[in-house]
Chains A and B, each alone.
Chain A
Amino acid sequence: GAVVSQHPSRVICKSGTSVKIECRSLDFQATTMFWYRQFPKQSLMLMATSNEGSKATYEQGVEKDKFLINHASLTLSTLTVTSAHPEDSSFYICSARRQGLQYFGPGTRLTVT
């Protein structure tokens, strides 16, 4: 099956610092990956679409300078939350597209203190 991993699974950081989250497709190459954010007991909201070798496409209302996305290879996309604040605390989930289907990673729980 298609496996997507995320690292770290949990991270706690202080307000004002930056945090990088990695999303890897372990057994397939993904030209397109997606980043979602999920607040407690809420649905997944698309933040951005990440395409290998090109700039990410951000959804309306998502600050591209705050949420930096880099899709440097066919198996890795990274999301960097810059100058994190407590309101950025959330569950960040990536997905990778393979043969027309999306496979989700296990998520990263970010807590900003």
Chain B
Amino acid sequence: QQQVKQSPQSLIVQKGGISIINCAYENTAFDYFPWYQQFPGKGPALLIAIRPDVSEKKEGRFTISFNKSAKQFSLHIMDSQPGDSATYFCAASKNSGYALNFGKGTSLLVTP
């Protein structure tokens, strides 16, 4: 059973545009929500993470928006670049140190 639902499955954005990926969860015990970036044949790399006590977190061009009441969170990539083309996974866990429940992933393509 997929505990974290992610959309869209794929996304094409022009260079300089904003990429938006959404995730939803059901388990209210989750309190750690990271986003990972994965390039083909590589392991996932942590991009940014948020906890439910804040509604937004920004690191460089990456922003997480969190809506606790709706049990949704999203990743915004500002000024998207071709080098951002990768697969992005949202995840959730009961604690940052516990096993992660991953979304199905979003394949992002940023065109020049």
Residues of A within 8 A of B99 (CB): 34, 46, 49
Q: Is the interface of A mostly helix, strand, loop or mixed?
A: strand
Tell me the bound Cα distance from A104 to B100 in angstroms.
12
Instruction: Check B96 for interface membership: any CB of A closer than 8 A.
Output: yes
Q: How many A-B residue pairs have CB under 8 A?
A: 52
Tell me the bound Cα distance from A49 to B95 in angstroms.
14
- The residue among A41, A43, A100 with the most chain B CB atoms within 10 A of its own CB is A43
Q: Which residues of chain B (42-100) have a CB below 8 Å from chain A?
A: 42-46, 49, 89, 95-97, 99-100
Instruction: Check B41 for interface membership: any CB of A closer than 8 A.
Output: yes
Q: Is the interface of B mostly helix, strand, loop or mixed?
A: loop
Instruction: Check B15 for interface membership: any CB of A closer than 8 A.
Output: no
Contact A43 B105 (CB under 8 A): yes
Contact B97 A97 (CB under 8 A): yes
Instruction: Check A32 for interface membership: any CB of B closer than 8 A.
Output: yes
Supply 14 A–B pairs (Cβ within 8 Å), ascending by A: A34-B99, A42-B104, A42-B105, A43-B103, A46-B99, A93-B43, A93-B44, A95-B100, A101-B49, A102-B100, A103-B46, A104-B44, A104-B45, A109-B41
Interface residues of B (CB under 8 A from A): 36, 41-46, 49, 89, 95-97, 99-105, 107
